[in-house]
Amino acid sequence: MPDRFDLPADFRWGAATAAYQIEGAADEDGRGPSVWDTFAARPGAVRDGHTGAVACDHYHRWPEDIALMQGLGLDGYRFSLAWPRIRPTGAGPVNPAGLAFYDRLVDALLGAGITPLPTLFHWDLPQALEDHGGWLNRDTAHRFADYTALVTDRLGDRVPTWITLNEPFVHTVFGYALGTHAPGRTLMFEALPAAHHQLLAHGLAASILHERGLEAMLSNNLTPVEPASQDPADLAAASAYDTLHNRLFTDPVLLGRYPDLSLLGVPDDIFGAVRPGDLDLIHTPGLDGLGLNFYNPTRVAAPTAPGLPFDLVDIPEAPHTAFGWPVVPDALTTLLLHLRDTYGKALPPLTITENGCSVDESTTPDQPRIDFMSAHLDALARATAEGIDVRGYYTWSLLDNFEWAEGYHQRFGLVHVDFATQHRTPKASYTWYRDLIAAHRLYRAR
């Protein structure tokens, strides 16, 4: 049975983070407020009132963090740029200090032999844009295109590959439908224009990147959906959930059309948001890579109450992470095979742009994370052995960080961060990953 040592010789080993989760320095050097600053200040929005104001203080400690990456022997580092640091109101004047921060970071990464893989948007929308409707306003897609152009003017000479958006599904559903993430809107299915406008932003940004000879990727959170039983009602519910979580965010980009949204009771034009020509803009036949953020599969049953067309149910036979998420590594192989079967030649090369788990701080020596990563990498190798083109793996996350609505309670890092002192301590999973990267390189070079 293929395992992680059978991953391709040129496989890229990486780690991932995101700006609001690690940078801190929320009010420094001209950064504008983001929706997450506003949301986290709302009583009860984030567990224990935590905010990202300081986070891992990466804005000041990035040299130490790059040294940690070098210690791992990473090929690549995925991070996100804070739009409100670069353009504080989202549309007005550019903040030179913000651009200069990422300029220094990119140079230092390159100097350390690590390829930067920036994400342009990982949920920290400038609050000034939210004040005009945020992603519910079509204009935000055009402001994102402007921001893409100005950032790539500055960094495109050194950064060849860009991820446009992180997980438009999670941002739409948690941020605009359920309100558990910023900006805290509770619109249920009427949130879906925010999804369309993010996809439009992706399409506009991908064209800008391509015009400049740069590569464009999109990172989607994807989950294999399993019906709770073969009962037709459970099968229909699973199909509705698959449409919402997976197909809505992947079909338009790879196939140039939306899936059948009537399964969700949503009109084809997504409440008037879809205009003629939009799908041509969103369709990205030359997408250079699809990023997959994979955490767990989802089991779905027929709804037990009016409202949603599905119920999400637990997978009780699986172990669970500290966050309570089921651990089912085989589901990663299933997902990759399913993507190939669904999209065929339209599927671009894949990269795992996030995968990892939260482990309780008191669990030493961090064995659950090592088990999680090794099982998922073996599952990945089983898919690459079937001919699926997966180019790299970016573990989530380099550092313990601000885990959105959970504040600092869920620890996803290979490096422990003491948030009182900012002291960083590599965990056993750090040493394990370092040794795996080195061993894989040796093994493949034989």
Q: Which residues of the chain form contacts with ligand BGC (CB under 6 A)?
A: 18, 21, 166-167, 170, 221, 293, 354, 396, 403, 412
Minimum CB separation of residue 135 from ligand BGC in Å reads: 16
- 221 - beta bridge partners? 293
CA separation for the pair 104, 117 (Å, rounded): 15
For ligand BGC, the closer of residues 197 and 245 by Cβ is 245
For ligand BGC, the closer of residues 96 and 319 by Cβ is 319
Interstrand relation of 298-301 and 415-418 (parallel, antiparallel or unpaired): unpaired
Q: Is 317 a catalytic residue?
A: no
113-to-13, 66, 106 alpha-carbon distances in Å: 12, 10, 11
Minimum CB separation of residue 324 from ligand BGC in Å reads: 12
Q: Tokens in use for 336?
A: 């990759």
For ligand BGC, the closer of residues 20 and 281 by Cβ is 20
Give the angle subtended at the CA of 77 by the CAs of 36 and 56, to the nearest 5°.
45
DSSP secondary structure, 125-153, as one string? -BHHHHTTTGGGSTHHHHHHHHHHHHHHH
Helix axes 428-445, 58-72, angle to 10 degrees: 40
Minimum CB separation of residue 413 from ligand BGC in Å reads: 10
For ligand BGC, the closer of residues 21 and 250 by Cβ is 21
What residue has token string 């698959």? 242
Minimum CB separation of residue 200 from ligand BGC in Å reads: 21
For ligand BGC, the closer of residues 122 and 143 by Cβ is 122
For ligand BGC, the closer of residues 245 and 247 by Cβ is 245
Minimum CB separation of residue 79 from ligand BGC in Å reads: 11
Q: Tokens in use for 417?
A: 């961060």
Q: Is 215 a catalytic residue?
A: no
Minimum CB separation of residue 169 from ligand BGC in Å reads: 9
| Catalytic entry in 354, 361, 403, 406 | 354
For ligand BGC, the closer of residues 302 and 408 by Cβ is 408
Minimum CB separation of residue 349 from ligand BGC in Å reads: 20
Q: Tokens in use for 344?
A: 């065929």
- Which of 232, 246, 237, 231 is CA-nearest to residue 308? 237
DSSP secondary structure, 50-108, as one string? --SSSTT-HHHHHHHHHHHHHHHT-SEEEEE--HHHHSTTSSS---HHHHHHHHHHHHH
Residues 195, 268: contact at Cβ < 8 Å? no
The dihedral built from the CA positions of residue 368, 371, 377 and 383, taken in this order, carries a sign that is negative
| Catalytic entry in 23, 167, 226, 403 | 167
Count H helices and E strands in the chain, helices first.
15, 13
Q: Which residues are catalytic?
A: 167, 354
